[in-house]
Amino acid sequence: MAAPATPRASLILPRASSHSHSQPSAGRLTSDRVAASRRRRGDFVFVINPSGANGRTGKQWKQLLPHLRTRLADQCKICECITSGPSDAIDVTREAIKDGADAVIAVGGDGTLHEVVNGFFCKGSPVCALDRGPDHSTALGLIPLGTGSDFARTFGWTNDPRDAIDRIARGLKSKLDIGVMEAANRETHFFVNVADIHLSAKAGYFASMYKRFGNLCYVFGALRGFGGHNNRDMRIKVNGGEWRTVDKVTALCIGNAKYFGGGMKITPTADPFSGSLEVVILQDFKWYDFLLKLHRLYGGTHLSVNGVSSIRVRSIEVAEVTASGDIFVQSDGEHFGFLPTKFSVLPGAVDFFC
282 SS3 class: strand
The answer to whether the bond into 161 is cis (omega within 30° of 0) is no
Q: How far apart are CA 117 and CA 194, in angstroms?
A: 13
Which burial class, exposed, middle or buried, applies to 292 when counting CB atoms under 10 A from its CB (0-12, 13-18, 19+)?
exposed
User: Cβ-count burial of 319 within 10 angstroms (0-12 exposed, 13-18 middle, 19+ buried)?
Assistant: middle
CA distance 134 to 231: 48
Where b means 16+ CB within 10 Å and e means fewer, 192-224 reads bbbbbbbbbbbbbbbbbebbeeeeebbeebbeb
Beta strands 328-331 and 334-338, pairing class: antiparallel
Q: What angle do CA 192, 195, 200 make, to 5 degrees?
A: 140
Residue from 110, 150, 177, 332 carrying the catalytic annotation: 110
Chain centroid, CA 57 distance in Å: 16
Q: Is 177 a catalytic residue?
A: no
Give SS3 for 143.
strand
**Residue type at position 19:** H
Q: Which residues are catalytic?
A: 110
